[in-house]
Amino acid sequence: MSQLNGYVCFYRNKRFEVHAGTSYEAQVKCAQENNIKKRHEITVILAEKGGETVVHKPLF
């Protein structure tokens, strides 16, 4: 069984948290759980991998 990662999804100024194997699976799961028809408008960010918090650093 593959390990599930934690993702944060954003859609029209709303925030959702899901666990999935890939970012695509997270996008699909978020859309299904929240009745979102325009799945392509969901932004997915990796938040947790292997039980560890993922920190994103801006590139300036």
In a domain, 12, yes or no: yes
In a domain, 57, yes or no: no
Strand order in the sheet with 43-49: 14-20, 5-11, 43-49, 52-53
Report pLDDT digits (tens) over 11-35: 999 999 999 999 999 999 999 999 9
Name the residue range of residue 43's domain: 5-51
Asked if residues 26 and 7 have their Cβ atoms less than 8 Å apart, the reply is yes
What mean pLDDT is reported for the chain?
A: 92
Asked if residues 49 and 7 have their Cβ atoms less than 8 Å apart, the reply is no
**Burial of 5: CB neighbours in 10 Å, binned 0-12, 13-18, 19+:** buried
Count the domains in the chain: 1
In a domain, 38, yes or no: yes
State the average pLDDT over residues 33-60.
91
Asked whether the predicted pLDDT for residue 1 surpasses 50, the reply is no
In a domain, 29, yes or no: yes
In a domain, 59, yes or no: no
Asked whether the predicted pLDDT for residue 2 surpasses 70, the reply is no
In a domain, 32, yes or no: yes
In a domain, 17, yes or no: yes
Alpha helices, DSSP H, located in 1-60: 23-33
